Structure 1
């Protein structure tokens, strides 16, 4: 966190010092880009080095480079000093950051996400305090002594590393030492084994292309580059835009600090958000929100509106970084995590080189407002490419258990229904006498049989058993009138009053 204070404060101090020396917008962009030139070139090799030797030595070297880079502009203030400061602080922080992220990525997925959430929370605090500290120091102490104030944090961090690194496990702090002399002499290889060894020696070594062939990892790295580029674009353009509208160094630092304060707030609530929102849904939402803020930013000059927009942008971008880091470690090949982290930093640093220099050159020609709008279009393009991820990982509502399937109306599955019919159910009711058999009644019975085919399965008819039990039942004396009423009512109804399956077959009296 203390080294991150020096990085964020150093960017603001370098850019404002260059403006005070009456340098052009392109030169300011060039100096800001120098923070990322060396990291862009050596991040992947740094990751491989960390995988090979451990995190202890790279963290110490990186911390020392940050201290030296912050002290140089304190001794003399000119273009050469600013160039050295930007380059040394940038490469030093890269060494420290690759080692730190490799250390935080150890453990299972839940522990990894928790570690990155704490790391992002600490860096949001340093992102808030760095620009604010640089702005206050410039207004009250001057540009040179502002760098001296920024060097205090890395000095304290180096002392803390001396106490912390010895407590780490040996396989984490440094790579295990291989003692070749203790290994037994290998047996001579056969012809087949020698051929396989030669093929393995001639095979190409794994490199960056192998990582980029992983489709999910490639998508994660691309989204991370666009979102982090929005972060760096905001940090680069706001000082230039603030000076153009007459803001002081303290006010510019306050606007940038408000952005970092929002990242701190959103990361406090991030564990709750991650329980209800899937990672890609969060990333696409952050991309769309950041694009809206970049569209509105150059339309306002009041400090209250600038603080509000900066805070909302911090909420959008601050919640995306922990999810991106966790996804990246999840899809990294085994044993190449630090190399993947280095590739990520190389991509980020490439945007930190190209965007300030390109925007600095364009700013002299077309102004500051089109720069905001150009990056807004880039953010919208990224959200459009990831729209399928947004739909796929959308939070689903809990589904209720499906109702049991209905009984089939045809086929053998309906046989148990008719088989379970008792003889008493199959027999006609006492007050419903059987009507005389007629041609129209036979046709209506055939229609009812086709409508209720689930009950009229021939193999399971219980009627032959039911008839002898119901024959002795006497008929009431009013049977002729009821029968006639039944016969007169039958033509008005589309189906007979009783299904054919539940009555006995018509018999002649």
Structure 2
């Protein structure tokens, strides 16, 4: 006999997670392929940054309008249009991998991925069964961790064996496969609007957003964790240079970080989320902040790997809880708009990270910069997350009270 704990997930949840993974393979692989091709063309570092910027700028500028679009028309059209846009961008890069076309391709891929991600995440959050919803979030987190490594691996292997055009072509086929999967499952992707009828004002006016204290704290915590995640790619080479580590050691450290992320996301929900989602975020901030602050002091054969594993494990456990809390705190009919806001905030953080971190390292040195960032994570874990946990407990209590007060047969 199947119970809530043992019954299999509905097929549409697996399909949605698979679509998210395929789209992320195309995105992560295209970033690496574009960077390698730009360097082969002799593009300087400043030009390379400008060519890669559209990936993040698409999320920053378009995510919130895209979220509102999804709320108005449903997930089907935005998801399929996003996958088609990604495929067109990658096909253009495969056709003519020159600077202008590659820059346009980066914009198309970033825009298409953002649209499909918001639509598909919203569908994962739409399931009324809490266990199914949590398992969908966990599957999404594990899948994106795996695809974040497989995409660059696929691009690198294709470039090494058959050239950059074949790499972009293979990634275009991956994106096209996602589009085909979306078409096959389009009946599962709702086509009706989800925004509240007659709602005219944008959700995130100053007055409205000021009243969503828990959501603001969640976005701030999420931004700090994303900033630390992205900073690791810059920090590990700098720490390696400081200690005189060879390039393969730095690569192994980043691989250890990725393995820790995969491992912690594969833990059962009952173990990973023990104590509530806000407590998971508090632990993630505290563990990752401490590991980041102590990373420059690591020495010996195992010390750096221990701190990178703690760093990856701390950050990796938080994503399912972030998505669950977004679903809990989203006003009715505005789910995709909130997800769009999250993508805009994360895109802004990714776009400003290199300048901000470089200025911090120049002003305080590497150790000072890592102590500052680690301290910010620790402070957030000690202040932001516990307040959110208390507020979540109040929300749950009110929901239970309202349910107990509802007369039988009126629900």
For Structure 1 versus Structure 2, the TM-score category normalised by the shorter chain is 0.7 to 0.9
* Matching residue of 2:154: 133
Matches within 5 A, 1:206-285: 206-209=203-206, 210-235=208-233, 247=247, 256=254, 258-285=256-283
Question: Contact conserved, 2:82 with 2:116, CA < 8 A, in 1?
Answer: yes
Structure 1 230/156 Cα, relative in aligned 2: closer, same or farther at 3 Å? same
Question: Separation in 2 of the partners of 1:131 and 1:252?
Answer: 17
Q: Structure 2 residue aligned with 1:39, among 46, 54, 59? A: 59
Tell me by how many angstroms 1:320 deviates: 0.5
Question: Separation in 1 of the partners of 2:231 and 2:306?
Answer: 18
Moved more, 14-23 or 38-47: 14-23
Tell me by how many angstroms 1:272 deviates: 3.1
Structure 1 111/80 Cα, relative in aligned 2: closer, same or farther at 3 Å? same
Matched, 1:377 2:372: yes
Question: Contact conserved, 1:113 with 1:326, CA < 8 A, in 2?
Answer: yes
Tell me by how many angstroms 1:83 deviates: 1.4
Question: Contact conserved, 2:145 with 2:262, CA < 8 A, in 1?
Answer: yes
* Matching residue of 2:382: 387
Matches within 5 A, 1:62-461: 62-106=82-126, 107-166=128-187, 168=188, 172-175=190-193, 206-209=203-206, 210-235=208-233, 247=247, 256=254, 258-295=256-293, 310-359=308-357, 362=359, 366=362, 370=365, 374=369, 377-388=372-383
Question: Separation in 2 of the partners of 1:68 and 1:236?
Answer: 31
Question: Separation in 2 of the partners of 1:373 and 1:14?
Answer: 33
More helix by share: 2
Structure 1 284/275 Cα, relative in aligned 2: closer, same or farther at 3 Å? closer
Unpaired segments ≥5 residues, structure 2: 1-20, 391-411
Tell me by how many angstroms 1:321 deviates: 0.7
* Matching residue of 2:11: none
Question: Separation in 2 of the partners of 1:36 and 1:206?
Answer: 23
Tell me by how many angstroms 1:338 deviates: 1.0
Tell me by how many angstroms 1:67 deviates: 1.4
Structure 1 67/354 Cα, relative in aligned 2: closer, same or farther at 3 Å? same
> SS state of the match for residue 333, structure 2?
coil
Larger radius of gyration: 1
* Matching residue of 2:397: none
Question: Separation in 2 of the partners of 1:79 and 1:255?
Answer: 32
Tell me by how many angstroms 1:319 deviates: 0.6
* Matching residue of 2:37: 17
> SS state of the match for residue 105, structure 1?
helix
Matched, 1:6 2:26: yes
Tell me by how many angstroms 1:376 deviates: 5.3
Tell me by how many angstroms 1:55 deviates: 0.6
Structure 1 55/391 Cα, relative in aligned 2: closer, same or farther at 3 Å? closer
Question: Contact conserved, 2:93 with 2:165, CA < 8 A, in 1?
Answer: yes
* Matching residue of 1:49: 69
Question: Separation in 1 of the partners of 2:160 and 2:118?
Answer: 34
Structure 1 205/229 Cα, relative in aligned 2: closer, same or farther at 3 Å? closer
Question: Separation in 1 of the partners of 2:292 and 2:42?
Answer: 27
The TM-score with structure 2 as length reference comes to 0.75
The TM-score with structure 1 as length reference comes to 0.62
The total of aligned residue pairs comes to 362
Question: Separation in 2 of the partners of 1:81 and 1:30?
Answer: 13
> SS state of the match for residue 97, structure 2?
coil
> SS state of the match for residue 174, structure 1?
coil
Unpaired segments ≥5 residues, structure 1: 177-199, 395-509
Structure 1 135/325 Cα, relative in aligned 2: closer, same or farther at 3 Å? same
Question: Separation in 2 of the partners of 1:254 and 1:230?
Answer: 19
Question: Separation in 2 of the partners of 1:254 and 1:10?
Answer: 22
> SS state of the match for residue 77, structure 1?
coil
> SS state of the match for residue 331, structure 2?
coil
Moved more, 119-128 or 346-355: 119-128
Structure 1 328/376 Cα, relative in aligned 2: closer, same or farther at 3 Å? farther
Question: Contact conserved, 2:134 with 2:269, CA < 8 A, in 1?
Answer: no
- Once the two structures are superposed, what CA deviation does each residue of 1:252-306 show, in whole Å capped at 9, x if it has no partner? 8776555433322211114132453332232222223323444465678999877
